[in-house]
Structure 1
């Protein structure tokens, strides 16, 4: 005799598995979506000399619908600082204390190591935590923006969701070109008086380097903020562009429609009367 077991499909858990610290050499802090639906994941990468905590707080304040937050800490502790400070790749000569030039090979080598560490973490998020690569987005400031852009443009995982970089550009060299161009959205915002980035023409040259690594269908934008230096967003104009990016490119499930459907899961088993 056949036994029929009926279960409503509405009894769903919209939470993704929580990332495990043991699966990565990077320190991170994870928060599930405030509305209980972990459709997207926003990875936040802090700037030079910072820690993950301010960005974990920022991620929670954003209150993005159906979006979990993962604030990641840079792997290298900067020595001789008055407070705990981290960097994503070497920024100073440890003997002289001088800032390394952008073409210093120590910076490129350190960035490659960080790329590998992030790739391991991303694979855990995709394979174990069930986040589709196309629904993993990045938000990075300065060095964190450089790392985020490097990951989507040069990393092994080619279909990541998108990047917002605040005052950060990738290292661009001619032999970095990938066979598969990036086809996701990118927003770069920066001040037109940013002493770290340089002149507007220098920033536009770096932006053109990004374009060369993107498909013609990629949605990429560079926004200059009048009077701004090298710091996080403070104006309504910049934050409006950031929230518009999230609203335009982060997918959302229509749970109301899903819950309206009278769909049931039916399992059958055989047995004797």
Structure 2
């Protein structure tokens, strides 16, 4: 299947999605699709709009950024949205707990967004999709990567295809997951083999979420986990070029490039 650029109309109507093309490609362009998809998942109490601004600021070449808004608004007239199965409070801080289960959100990202649109409609392979999430969005990104690594049960009726229409190509490793300020959640399962999707954890030196035990839990679920801690205190998004450097270095290692490749070239796998 030839690859095509994703558009908002490709996604289910119940999702709020924004598409940010690379800097050299205008939104209305119908040129050759980019070799990379960066899936952006915002944090607890945020929305797609701020992460769309972040996508533009990244200015990544040959990369289409897809920003998805969490489906559930916060209760009590609080601003923003959340990814959790429920809204719970952290007893130690009194604030909202990031880890409130990700069953519904995982199905949404895995089946509706990645497999349903990026793979089946647009023709991308999993290793051409990289996820960056902040806080609760980072937890969800890690859980989704684990789920995408599970090989679907193949029907005996037709080799290579499952009864539900899934194929072996629907499972595998992503290009990577960057989780800012959040580890693999306690609510997630780490049973089974380790996932081979490369992971970058970025957090402050005193992060309340990314503790040593939380880092070990993440390493129990993934084979390749890189940890980078900022010198400053307090969790949050990167605030300086120095804090963004490990993220940009990860992009440089994991994103693909077609520069210098002829237009009609065929990749042999």
Give the ranges of 4+ consecutive aligned residues of structure 1 lying more than 4 Å apart after TM superposition.
98-103
Give how far 1:226 is off.
1.6
Is residue 57 of structure 1 aligned with residue 62 of structure 2? no
Is residue 258 of structure 1 aligned with residue 266 of structure 2? no
Give how far 1:33 is off.
2.5
Task: Specify the alignment match of 2:70 in structure 1.
Answer: 74
The match for 1:182 among 191, 195, 204 is 195
For the residues of structure 2 that align with 1:101 and 1:78, how far apart are their CA atoms? 12
SS at match of 1:170: coil
With normalisation by structure 1, the TM-score equals 0.75
Give how far 1:19 is off.
4.6
Over residues 87-120 of structure 1, what are the superposed CA-to-partner deviations in whole Å (9 max), with x where a residue is unaligned?
1113336xxxx646678xxx22xx1110001112
The match for 1:41 among 37, 43, 49 is 37
Give how far 1:81 is off.
3.0
Task: Specify the alignment match of 2:180 in structure 1.
Answer: 166
Any unmatched runs of 5+ in structure 1? 1-12, 264-273
Q: Which has the higher strand share?
A: 1
| Larger Rg belongs to | 1
CA contact (8 A) 2:44 2:98 kept: no
Q: Which of structures 1 and 2 has the larger relative contact order (alpha carbons within 8 angstroms, sep 6+)? A: 1
Give how far 1:230 is off.
1.7
With normalisation by structure 2, the TM-score equals 0.76
Task: Specify the alignment match of 1:204 in structure 2.
Answer: 212
SS at match of 2:221: coil
Task: Specify the alignment match of 1:143 in structure 2.
Answer: 136
Over residues 164-194 of structure 1, what are the superposed CA-to-partner deviations in whole Å (9 max), with x where a residue is unaligned?
1110112246954234x32122111111233
Task: Specify the alignment match of 2:113 in structure 1.
Answer: 121
Give how far 1:22 is off.
4.8
RMSD: 2.6
CA contact (8 A) 1:38 1:68 kept: yes
CA contact (8 A) 2:135 2:181 kept: yes
